[in-house]
Structure 1
C-alpha cells in the first residue's frame, strides 16, 4: 500500500488496536516504574517513552481515521491489572511474554524499526524480570510446586482407589493417609536437601577464624597469596592483594573483607521442611473435600476433579509466569499432566479391583 492509497477497513481496525495497545503498555511500564526507584525506574520509564513513540506512529498513520479511543486487548488489560495491584515479577514476566509475541514481525504495515524495538524491549524486561525472580523468595516457588505435587499425587491416589470399587470411607481414609505420608516425605526430603546444601556451602566457605591469624603469617612465605590463588586469582593478582592486606595489618586496619566472606546458605532447613509439609498438604487436601462432606464415590470424584482442575490451572499458570513462558500454555499442560496421571491410576484401580474381585 502506497501513501496515496486509503487504508482498508481491516487495516484501520488493526491500527486502532495497535494504538490502544501501545498506549496501554506505556501506562503499564509507567505504573511499574512508579513502584520502583533508582536504575530500574529509569529503565522502565525509558521503555514507556518508546511505547509512546510507537503510539504516536500509529496515531499519525491513522490520521483523520483515528476515531474514538479503543480498549486494549484482553491480555494487555490483564497486564495493567497485575501492574496496578502487584507491580511484581509477575507483571514483568507477562510483559516479557507480550513483547516476544509482537504482531509487528508479520505485519507489512509495521516498520522494521518498531518490530526491532519490541524485540529489544523483551530483552530488557527479561533482564529486569530475572532480577525479580532471583529476589523472589524460594518459599514462594516451593509453595507452588509443593501444592502442585500434592494435587497430582493425591487425586491420582483417590481415583485409583475409587476405581477398585471401595466405599467412601475407604477412599477418605486412603486420601488422608496419602496426604500425611506424602507431606511427611516431602518435608523430610526438603530438610535433608537444604541441610546438606548448607553444610556443603559451609565447608566450602573461608574459615572466619583464619582472619585472626593473619598477623602471625610469615610475610616472606606469603601464605595468603596462596589462598587467593586457590580461589581463582592469577599469581600477580594474588600477590598484589596479599600485599595490600599486609600493609593494612601494619597500619592497624581491618583486612579485606573477602578474606572471611561466606556464601549465603539456602535458609533454615526446618523452615523449608515445614513449608514443604504445609503446601504439599494443602494441595493434597483439595481432592478430599467432597468426601469429607459424605459425597458418594462417583459424585465425589467428579467434584474432586473439578476442584483439582481449577487448582492445576492456577499453579500451572503461576509456574508459566515465573518461567517467563505463556501462562495459559503452561496451565493447560499442567492440567493435562494432572488429569492424565489421575486417569491412568483410575484405570489401574479398575483393573486391580476386577482381578481381586
Structure 2
C-alpha cells in the first residue's frame, strides 16, 4: 500500500466501509426479531463487522467523511431484514457473504478474508434451521406452483394449436386446473402421511421407560436397545449402565431423557417433513394459483395467437419469479435458477403446441 492512496483506492475503501456498516446494521435488525442463541450469534456477527469497519476507517482517515452510502444491493438487503427477518433474508445474507470482495483486495487483511468465510458458514447454519422448518411445505408449494404453470400452459397451448374454439380451450384449462390441483393435494397428503408414519414406527416407544426400574442390572438388556439403534457394544453397555445406576430417580424428567438412545429420531425429523394436511393444502393452492395463470387471457376474452402469446408471457414471468425464489433460498444464483425454470416451462409448452399444430392439421 502506498503512503498516499490514489483516488480509486479511497473510493474502493469507502465502498467497503459503507458495506460493512450496512451489514452490521442488517445483523442487528435480524437480531431484533430473534431471541436466545440466534440473537446472540447475530449480534456477535454485527460486532465482527464493526471490526472490519474500523479497518477501513483507519485507512481512510479524514476521507471517511462524508459518510458513504452503501450500494443498492446492500440497501435492499437491509430493507428486507427490517421488513421480514425470515429465512429468505438469511439466504440473501449468506449469498452476500459468499461474494465478499476481500479475497481479491490487497488492502483487506487475511483475518478479514477468513472472517467473511466463517460468517458465510454461520449464516448457512442459521438459515439451515429455517430451511428445515419450511422444507416440507415449501417443497409442496414450489412443486405445486411450477407443475400448475407448466402443465396447464402446455395443455392450453396444445389445445389452442389444434384450432378448437376459445370456449373449449377455456374449459380444458379449468378442467386441467381442478384435476391437477386435486391430484397434487391428494398425492402430497399420502406421501407426507406415509413418511411420518414410517418415522413414527421407528421412534422409541415412550412407555418403555416405565420398565426401567424393574430391569436386571446384571443382565442389562437395555444395552441391546442402544446397540439396535447403532451404538457400539462398548458404548451401549456404558450408557445402559449409567441409566440403570440412576434408576432410583428414573421418574425424574432428566433421567428419563437419558434413557432415549442418542441417535434416535426426534421431533425435528417430523418437523422437516411437515404436516400432511399442510403439504396437501399448500400443494393444492399453489398448483391452482399456477394453473390459473395460463387460463387468464381466455377468461379475459382474448382469443387466437394473442391469447397464446399472452398466456406464454404471463407464465414466463411467473416461472422466472419462482425459479429466482428457489435460487435465493438455496443460496444459488436467482437469475440462473429463474432462466432454468423458464427454459423448462417454455420448452414443454412449445413441444405440446407443435404437437397440437400437427394434430390439428391431420384432423383438418
Counterpart residue number, 2:93: 95
Question: What is the TM-score with the length of structure 2 in the denominator?
Answer: 0.87
Q: Would the aligned equivalents of 1:20 and 1:72 in 2 still touch at CA under 8 Å? A: yes
Of the three residues 221, 233, 236, the one matched with 1:235 is 233
SS in structure 2 opposite 1:256? helix
1:252-331 equivalences under 5 Å are: 253=251, 256-257=256-257, 258-259=259-260, 263-264=266-267, 265=270, 266-331=273-338
Counterpart residue number, 2:176: 178
Counterpart residue number, 1:340: 347
Of the three residues 5, 8, 11, the one matched with 2:9 is 11
- Rate the CA distance shift 1:70–1:336 in 2: closer, same or farther, 3 A: farther
Of the three residues 149, 163, 166, the one matched with 1:165 is 163
SS in structure 1 opposite 2:169? helix
Counterpart residue number, 1:154: 152
Structure 1 residue 21 and structure 2 residue 19: aligned?
Answer: yes
Q: Would the aligned equivalents of 1:160 and 1:345 in 2 still touch at CA under 8 Å? A: yes
1:208-227 equivalences under 5 Å are: 208-214=206-212, 217=215, 220-227=218-225
- Rate the CA distance shift 1:247–1:325 in 2: closer, same or farther, 3 A: same
Query: What is the alpha-carbon distance in structure 2 between the residues aligned to residue 67 and residue 108 of structure 1?
Result: 23
Over the aligned positions, Cα root-mean-square deviation in angstroms equals 2.6
- Rate the CA distance shift 1:282–1:65 in 2: closer, same or farther, 3 A: same
Structure 1 stretches of 5 or more lacking a match? none
Counterpart residue number, 1:131: 129
CA deviation profile, 1:98-137 (whole Å, cap 9, x unmatched): 1111122223343433333222211221111112222336
Counterpart residue number, 2:357: 350
Structure 2 stretches of 5 or more lacking a match? none
- Between stretches 259-268 and 144-153, larger displacement belongs to 259-268
CA deviation profile, 1:120-167 (whole Å, cap 9, x unmatched): 211221111112222336323422332122112211221222222222
Using the TM superposition, give the Cα deviation of residue 80 of structure 1 relative to its aligned residue in structure 2, in angstroms.
0.5
- Rate the CA distance shift 1:104–1:244 in 2: closer, same or farther, 3 A: closer
Query: What is the alpha-carbon distance in structure 2 between the residues aligned to residue 65 and residue 213 of structure 1?
Result: 74
- Rate the CA distance shift 1:136–1:247 in 2: closer, same or farther, 3 A: same
Using the TM superposition, give the Cα deviation of residue 267 of structure 1 relative to its aligned residue in structure 2, in angstroms.
4.8
